[in-house]
Structures are given as C-alpha cells and as structure tokens.
Chain A
Amino acid sequence: SAVISQKPSRDICQRGTSLTIQCQVDSQVTMMFWYRQQPGQSLTLIATANQGSEATYESGFVIDKFPISRPNLTFSTLTVSNMSPEDSSIYLCSVESGVSEAFFGQGTRLTVV
C-alpha cells in the first residue's frame, strides 16, 4: 500500500489568485494522478504526472490553468491558476500500487470566493 499526504487539506482563496497543492508519497512511484471532484460529483482525471517528463492532460484541462510539477518519484504539485468560483472543488492526488489498486490522498478542499 501507499500512504499519501496532501497539503493543504483545505483553503479559501480569492478569485484571480493561484494555489499550489502538494502531494507526498511514502514510496517511489512511477505515475501520479491528479483528480478533481466538483461538489456532489464524481472524480474527473485532470492529468497524469510522470517523473522527468511533462504531465499528460485530459480533455478539457490545460497546462496554463493546472500546471503540474513532478521533481522526483515521491512528490508532485498541482497549481490551480487564476482561480474562479467554478474551481471550487476537492482536488485529489492518487498513485497506483501493486497490480491494479489506486490509492488516494485525503484531498484538498478548495473554496474560491
């Protein structure tokens, strides 16, 4: 199994500002995933972060809005840029461990006012 720590756990931000979310894993992993969970909705994959290369973004998500860093095999950051109230969501970091399981951090609950 993998233990994932996310910071911050929650934040309230002003529109137009940016927030960087950190994800730390207790073991080395190849792929790290960032998801968004809008209020009352399911999870939507934002991007996949592979160490040493640019992140791969899903349809509807762009690097300018959600820049991602992956400096090593245990750490990644997701920045939510130029925020608007529509960005209010829970953002979750995930890694894969073993044959098929995905593990999730506790999430960052973001409110944009």
Chain B
Amino acid sequence: GDSVTQMEGPVTLSEEAFLTINCTYTATGYPSLFWYVQYPGEGLQLLLKATKADDKGSNKGFEATYRKETTSFHLEKGSVQVSDSAVYFCALRTQKTSYDKVIFGPGTSLSVIP
C-alpha cells in the first residue's frame, strides 16, 4: 500500500546550520506531497506542498522538490533558527475510492540549539 518513510530523529542542530530531512514515498499514480510542522503543544500546520513532479514547494525558508524518479520529497533549509524546533511530518495525498486520503510519515523531531 501507499506509505511515507522519513529519516529517524531526533535531529539536533546548532542555530544557522543547514537542515535536510529525508522523505521517500511509495504510491500508485501521482500523489500530492506535503510537509507539515507541529510545534510543541499545537496541531499540524501545512508548511509546503507540491502537486506534480519537479514542483518545488517553499515557505519560511524551507524548500522541497517533488522528485518522481527517486520518489523523494526531501525538506531543506539553509539556516535554521531556534524557532524551527518542532516535529516535521512528510505526507502524501492519494485517491482512495471516493475521497482523498492523507498518509503521514512517522515524523522527525528537530531541536535547534543557540
């Protein structure tokens, strides 16, 4: 079945370091891909998305490119801040019968230290 795999955390970085969180997926057809972020004690927020191959989603300095050939959607940021400390979920949306189902990866916890 459809699935999402993320690099295991937790990830600890110093402020201004470069961030990469790997995400690969398995899906039939052409899913839409997402990164969601969950700050401590809060719900999920959509960080960025890409709906077709080679699309690049970007928001708040984060970027991810939909790579169909490698079935990947890695999240990157050039310079992380303490405020980026959160759990990041890679997700895909695929068609299931009469509605679209969102499948989440296991999440990667990021801690940024000053």
- Residues of A participating in the B interface, judged by any CB pair closer than 8 Å: 6, 31, 33, 41-43, 45, 48, 50, 92, 94, 96, 99-107
Range class of the B interface residue count: 20 to 34
Identify the stretch in B58-66, B69-77, B97-105 within 8 Å (CB) of chain A at 4 or more residues. B97-105
Please pick, from B34, B46, B93, B99, the residue contacting A48 in the complex, using a CB distance under 8 A.
B99
> Can you give 15 contacting A-B residue pairs, CB < 8 Å?
A6-B43, A31-B99, A41-B107, A42-B105, A42-B106, A42-B107, A43-B89, A92-B43, A96-B100, A99-B51, A100-B49, A100-B51, A101-B49, A102-B46, A102-B93
User: A72 to B24, alpha carbons, bound, how many Å?
Assistant: 37
Q: Which 8 A-B pairs have the closest CB atoms?
A: A106-B43, A100-B32, A104-B44, A107-B43, A43-B104, A104-B43, A42-B104, A42-B106
